[in-house]
Amino acid sequence: VVGTSAIRIGTCGYSYEEWRGVFYPDKLPKGKFLEHYAAEFDTVELNATFYQLPALKSLEGMVRRTPPGFSFVVKAHQALTHQRGKAAEEMLPSFKMALKPFVDGGKLGGVLLQFPYSFKANPPNATYVRELVGRITGAPVIAEFRHKDWFVPDGIAWLKKHAISLCCVDEPELPNLPPPVAEVTGPVGYVRFHGRNRAAWWSPTAPDPSQPIGHDETGGRSPGERYRYHYRPDELEAWVPKVRAMAHEASGQFAFFNNHPEGHAVRNARDLKVLLGESHPR
């Protein structure tokens, strides 16, 4: 269904100790972080599932502790996107089981497949994406590609043909990284703001200087350095018409901030909500 959809704005992850004093009260128990977060934002991208699947009771608790209408986007475990092969086959049943509490609670907004930079556009990889998407049911599946090869016209057309939602990104303009396109290729529109920290993006120790740091790349700085960036108002304002246009075309629209160091993600998520008229200045 094409039509103007609500724009959900949140952050990539929420359980950051360094957000104490910035977003969370200093003495707030970590077990209450989610409730505090959900009092202001109506969606979160759950990143912990990329590294390890929490116990079902923990996931069920997340659903219970958030208000009606709250939406989770669950990042796929790295076995599905980075290891693939046998590791993916072994992980898929457990990952689908981990989605069940969110599906049953009516709070699964989507599943994010974040592929590594080394996962380039070619027929075998395209087949893998299409087949994996087909095996995940219950919510839209969003694909994030870290290499620009997927963002050519043929790649966009392929995503639209198979109704796979593209994760659009804002990040430094560097060789081989995706351009800042705003395309709706599947049921939902999706944007991730990684920050524009050019100096910390590439790995200074990588044999190939075109290799960015990442989960399967060599050397480099920590994600805490890579994503340490605060968007200026004008940088976010440039995205406002794009996000609105995507929301008009999609049945759901998400915008998440991954610049989590020092609480920049929370501040910028608030900024974008104000710019889009989703909330008043704090």
pLDDT (tens digit per residue) in 122-165: 999 999 999 999 999 889 999 999 999 999 999 999 999 999 99
Question: Which of 48, 40, 47, 50 lies closest to 8, judged by CA?
Answer: 40
> For the chain, how many residues are written?
282
Q: Is the model more confident about 252 or about 209?
A: 252
- For the chain, give the mean pLDDT: 91
C-alpha to C-alpha distance for 262 and 254, rounded to whole angstroms? 22
Q: Which residues lie closer than 8 Å to 82 by C-beta, 6 or more apart?
A: 115, 116, 215, 216
State pTM to two decimals.
0.91
pLDDT (tens digit per residue) in 50-85: 999 999 999 999 999 999 999 999 999 999 999 999
C-alpha to C-alpha distance for 281 and 30, rounded to whole angstroms? 26
Other beta carbons within 10 Å of 22: 12
Match 């609670």 to its residue by tokens: 105
pLDDT (tens digit per residue) in 1-48: 344 568 999 999 999 999 999 999 999 999 999 999 999 999 999 999
User: Which pLDDT score, from 0 to 100, does residue 250 have?
Assistant: 94
